[in-house]
Structure 1
Amino acid sequence: MKQIVCVKWGTGYGPEYVNRLYGMVSRHITGPFRVVCLTDDRAGIRAEVECFDLPELGVPHPERTAGKWRKQVLWGETVPGLEGVALFIDLDSVIVGSLDPYFEFGNEDDVICARNWARPLARLGQTSVFRFKVGANAHLLKNFRADPQGVADKYGFEQHYVTASVTGGIKFWPESWTRHFRLHCMPAFPLNYFVTAHCPKDALIVTFPGGPNPDDVLMGCWNKNVPPYRTRLQHLMALFSGPRVDEKRWRHLRRYVLPVPWIAEAWKD
């Protein structure tokens, strides 16, 4: 049984993200599978998804950090609804190829991640997509709970903490499998004003860490600070007046995206 797990908490992502993840998984996997969602709100999630209550972190969430530390509950001795090997996929991911290789690569005791694309020369994992054995690295959650602010201050991001703490070290997927939308799909500025983001050859999953989100770029906007289908001229004029993608003008200038048809085709129930 191939197990896929996702985590949904707060209001950042609606149930449609879980529902579309299930739809994508079902189209890109062979053999028996199950999708497990750990969540604080089951409303609107399709019946095929097995929902379990998201465990409490058990300590105050660290301050002064952008890390998604709530995901540390996946490293507990037990995880609701799961046992054995599971593949975690962030909700803001678009599956474009077979998931089978993610279950066939390496050994079942390995923790396997994508390489952190933003820092390619460092041996850092990116936890948008990772495979793990439930309970095999329970010291991660235990040590985090013992000093959550100290861990966050030292590592900054939960994925850096995972990289440094997994027994035996993390392993990496083949580079082409897991791609980063901003870094691997978007044309370089200023070509992004004229060329649509592409789906990289041999990619299996496209991830969106740090934004934008799939529901925005499929409509041709970077985030919900600006209306969709904003023209090039309107985007440029917003440098001086009107809502901007980012308060910093140089970031607003660079963050323009045309509608992405292949996301609309892939990211659906």
Structure 2
Amino acid sequence: MKQVICVKWGTAYGADYVNRLYGMLRRHVTGDFRLVCLTDNKEGIRPEVDAYDLPELGCEWPKKSMGKWRKLVMWGSDLGPTTGLSGPVLFIDLDSVIVDNIDGYFTHGSPDDVVLARNWAKPMQKLGQTSVFRFPVGKYPHIIEQFRADPQGVADRHGFEQHFVTASVPGGIKFWPPTWTRHFRLHCLPPFPLRYFKSAKLPKGAKIVTFPGGPNPSDVLVGRWTQQEPAHETPWEHFKGTFGKGVTNRWRHLTRYVRPTPWLTHYWKE
């Protein structure tokens, strides 16, 4: 049985994201699989998904930290007894898009390996990125225990949950083959200013496209960077908006342009 886990909390992503992930798995996983969702709101999640209450972090949230520290609850020793998960489990962020068969993610390397996507924003530092990663349930509880002992210190030293995980796995982490897990902004979106004229491409050999740091797939689908911006905005309208009132970072606004991305319609659906 192939095992997948996701985490949903807050209001950023609704049950439709969980249901969409299940649909993508059904199309791109061979044979039986199980999807477990740790969440603070089970309403609307399709019955095929095993939803459980999201455990508390167990300590104060680090101040002035951008890290998604709540994801560390998956390293707790109680995850297996609570959910029935055991052995290697594949975690997938809800804003990921599965575009090809992912059977290899369940068998790559050793079952005890912690396998992460490479942090493509900082490739020379050999850091992991936890949008898609596999871990052995209950094997490394020291990760969350060390965090709970000094959450602010961990956040100050590492900045992000994924950097802390990279540094904390005994013997070091492993990486997926480089073409499997692609970063939307870095591998799909044309460089500025070509993104004003060309839609994002789907890289050859990609199996999962991740969206860390935005934009969100639901926004890219209709050609905008955030929900606060108009959909299908023309390049000229976006360019003029760079010099409008209320724009504090003009360069950031100028470069954050994305055209509607047709291939998302095909893959990112329930």
Q: Do both proteins adopt the same fold according to a TM-score greater than 0.5, normalized to the shorter chain?
A: yes
1:233 to 236, 239, 242: 236
In the other structure, the counterpart of 2:55 is 55
Q: CA deviation at 1:261?
A: 0.6
In the other structure, the counterpart of 1:70 is 70
In the other structure, the counterpart of 1:160 is 163
After superposition, give the CA deviation of every residue in 1:232-264 in whole Å (9 maximum; x if it has no partner): 1211111122676xx411011001111001111
Distance in 2 (alpha carbons) for counterparts of 1:148 and 1:234:
44
After superposition, give the CA deviation of every residue in 1:95-129 in whole Å (9 maximum; x if it has no partner): 00111000111000000001110001111100100
Distance in 2 (alpha carbons) for counterparts of 1:4 and 1:242:
45
2:100 to 91, 97, 115: 97
In structure 2, give the amino acid aligned to 1:220. G
1:33-182 aligned within 5 A: 33-79=33-79, 80-81=82-83, 82-182=85-185
After superposition, give the CA deviation of every residue in 1:3-56 in whole Å (9 maximum; x if it has no partner): 110000001111111111000000000111011100000111111111000000
Distance in 2 (alpha carbons) for counterparts of 1:250 and 1:225:
18
CA-atom RMSD, angstroms?
1.0
In structure 1, give the amino acid aligned to 2:40. D
Q: State the SS of the aligned residue for 1:121.
A: helix
After superposition, give the CA deviation of every residue in 1:122-178 in whole Å (9 maximum; x if it has no partner): 111001000000011100011100111111111000100000001111001100000
Q: TM-score, normalised by structure 2?
A: 0.97
In the other structure, the counterpart of 2:199 is 196
Distance in 1 (alpha carbons) for counterparts of 2:63 and 2:204:
39
Is the contact between residue 6 and residue 38 of structure 1 (CA under 8 Å) also seen in structure 2? Answer: yes
Is the contact between residue 78 and residue 134 of structure 1 (CA under 8 Å) also seen in structure 2? Answer: no
Distance in 2 (alpha carbons) for counterparts of 1:213 and 1:242:
25
In structure 1, give the amino acid aligned to 2:250. R
In the other structure, the counterpart of 1:251 is 252
In the other structure, the counterpart of 1:261 is 262
Q: CA deviation at 1:78?
A: 2.2
Is the contact between residue 5 and residue 37 of structure 1 (CA under 8 Å) also seen in structure 2? Answer: yes
Q: Where do 5+ consecutive residues of structure 1 fail to align?
A: none
Which of structure 1's runs of 4+ aligned residues deviate more than 4 A?
A: none
In structure 2, give the amino acid aligned to 1:72. L
Distance in 2 (alpha carbons) for counterparts of 1:204 and 1:243:
39
Q: State the SS of the aligned residue for 2:41.
A: coil
Distance in 1 (alpha carbons) for counterparts of 2:169 and 2:260:
39
1:187 aligns with 2:190: yes
Q: Where do 5+ consecutive residues of structure 2 fail to align?
A: none
Q: State the SS of the aligned residue for 1:141.
A: helix
Q: Structure 1's 31 and 178: CA in aligned 2 closer, same or farther, altered over 3 A?
A: same
In structure 1, give the amino acid aligned to 2:254. L
Q: State the SS of the aligned residue for 1:199.
A: coil
Q: State the SS of the aligned residue for 2:124.
A: coil
Q: State the SS of the aligned residue for 2:198.
A: coil
Among the aligned pairs, what percent are the same residue? 62
Distance in 2 (alpha carbons) for counterparts of 1:172 and 1:243:
42
In the other structure, the counterpart of 1:4 is 4
Distance in 2 (alpha carbons) for counterparts of 1:14 and 1:228:
20
